[in-house]
Amino acid sequence: MTLEKCYILVLTFCCFACKGQEAFDVSKLNLSIPTTGNSWVITDVHNSSEVISKTGISNWKDPNAIIRTYFHLDAPATVPFGIVAQVTSGNSKIKVSYGEHSKVIELSNTSVDTIYIGDYTAKTKGYQYIDLQGIQTDSDAFASVSALVLGSEKDSLVDYVRDDFYFGRRGPSTHLIYETPEEVDIEWFYNEIEIDVDQDVIGSYFMANGFAEGYFGIQVNSDTERRILFSIWSPYKTDDPSSIPEAYKIKLLKKGAGVTTGKFGNEGSGGQSYKVFNWKAGMRYKFLTRIKPNGDDSTTYTSYFFDPETDNWHLIASFKRPKTSTYLARPYSFLENFIPNTGALPRRGGFYNQWMRDTKGQWHHITEAKFSADATARKDARLDYSGGIQDEGFYLMNCGFTNDHTPIGTVLKRNSKQTAPEIDFETLE
């Protein structure tokens, strides 16, 4: 082969190589998914806040940490994607896993840049995710990543948390809105809760007896603490309990043994009571709330908790709410997550045997509920929520980026073959 032919062959090969490595136009990555609201350290979700800050992924030092970013596709699709990232100094190698593929990329840019990764293919609609894991770095952290970016001509194809990141990370709250007997005044509200085994996730509040002015249920506060919580909102609208005028304050009338009482704020304000109690998943607990107007423009709210292991009703607390004259109004149950770091974990609870007792002593069986959810769900920031019928009761589920989804407004009807609760009201504290 002549030298001239060798030169032409090499030149031709180089041209094909250059063409194969043609840079992707990152301006096509037009959808930005903020990591601050959509990413978790799935290898340790409880400590996600150490890596996921208000600016996104930062302080990323642990090579064992897998950071997962979630998004929802409304149809099967193939979309190009990348990340918006930078390093402090030196070079970092990062493994990106997506679908059935993974790729190691090297970052050396010290200013924010968009790095194209590849094409993500979803064979079905629903929740998708992309994982990042640090491999090697010359700096004190692998990288800062503010967003996952996708390319799509249809913005409506992709759902994710776009704003209100605190509530987006907490996940959607779900509700059962119960039918209320007409033309009678309801004085007592009875409900039962049994949490499915392994669904008692930290940050969960399974609320049994909700009404227009307050709520009563059980929480998982930490690895070592669980509570029974009963609270009444003040009629004075504020998130700061210290600003409530005296005439609008909730008054404690009595409380049970071992119950702590005080004020609460941030989501409305009022009077709060709780009892530290190691309730268990797989065990059925009973809840009873009395709502009785006093005839002086005030109403008394009293809640009791039944522990099957002691076979007794226990007083939690009794509060007086001023500027209020009502019996039970707007009865409901709900399930919420109050710890953003655990918003990537699913939880589920069963709600059973709802009854209401009127002022004449007549019990009314409640067999119908309308499923509902909060603002996070209603604006499609999160779609991982559901409710339905379970073992002649209702269930609520949220979080975990599952594809279990129940349309808001769905009416649920359960079996009515149950007997009214037998309660000796005279012996209640």
Is 10 a member of any domain?
A: no
8 A C-beta contact, residue 207 and residue 215: yes
Shared domain for 123 and 195, answered yes or no, is no
Pairing between β-strand 174-178 and β-strand 368-373 as defined by DSSP bridges? antiparallel
Residue 41 bridge partners (DSSP): 67
Is 13 a member of any domain?
A: no
Query: For the segment 35-94, what is each residue's pLDDT rounded down to a tens digit?
Result: 999 999 999 888 788 899 999 999 999 999 999 999 999 999 999 999 999 999 999 999
* Residue 367 predicted with pLDDT over 50: yes
Q: What is the mean pLDDT of the chain?
A: 92
Is 119 a member of any domain?
A: yes
Among the candidates 159, 180, 213, a domain finishes at 159
Residue 300 bridge partners (DSSP): 292, 320
Residue 232's Cβ-count burial label (10 Å; 0-12, 13-18, 19+) is buried
* Cα angle for residues 137, 138, 140 (degrees, 5° grid): 80
Shared domain for 104 and 68, answered yes or no, is yes
CA 414 from centre of chain:
25
Shared domain for 260 and 350, answered yes or no, is yes
Shared domain for 216 and 73, answered yes or no, is no
Shared domain for 294 and 398, answered yes or no, is yes
Long-range pairs for 2-5 at CB < 8 Å and ≥24 separation?
none
Query: For the segment 273-290, what is each residue's pLDDT rounded down to a tens digit?
Result: 999 999 999 999 999 999
* Residue 20 predicted with pLDDT over 50: no
Q: For the chain, what is the domain count? A: 2
Strands (E) located in 30-100: 31-34, 39-41, 52-53, 56-57, 66-73, 77-86, 92-98
* Cα angle for residues 24, 28, 31 (degrees, 5° grid): 130
Is 1 a member of any domain?
A: no
Query: For the segment 205-252, what is each residue's pLDDT rounded down to a tens digit?
Result: 999 999 999 999 999 999 999 999 999 999 999 888 889 999 999 999
Q: What is the mean pLDDT of residues 316-320?
A: 97
Shared domain for 206 and 116, answered yes or no, is no
Encoding tokens for residue 5?
């032919």
**Residue 279: which residues within 8 A CB-CB, separation 6 or more?**
218, 226, 228, 285
Is 8 a member of any domain?
A: no
* Cα angle for residues 42, 48, 50 (degrees, 5° grid): 140
Shared domain for 254 and 117, answered yes or no, is no
Shared domain for 58 and 196, answered yes or no, is no
Shared domain for 56 and 202, answered yes or no, is no
* Residue 24 predicted with pLDDT over 70: yes
Q: What is the mean pLDDT of residues 23-31?
A: 89
| Cα separations in angstroms, 302 against 102, 299, 366 | 57, 10, 21
Domain ranges, residue 363: 169-427
Among the candidates 140, 159, 178, a domain finishes at 159
pTM: 0.90
* Residue 8 predicted with pLDDT over 60: no
Shared domain for 418 and 301, answered yes or no, is yes
Among the candidates 115, 139, 159, a domain finishes at 159
* Residue 272 predicted with pLDDT over 70: yes
| Cα separations in angstroms, 281 against 219, 248, 347 | 12, 38, 11
* Residue 7 predicted with pLDDT over 50: no
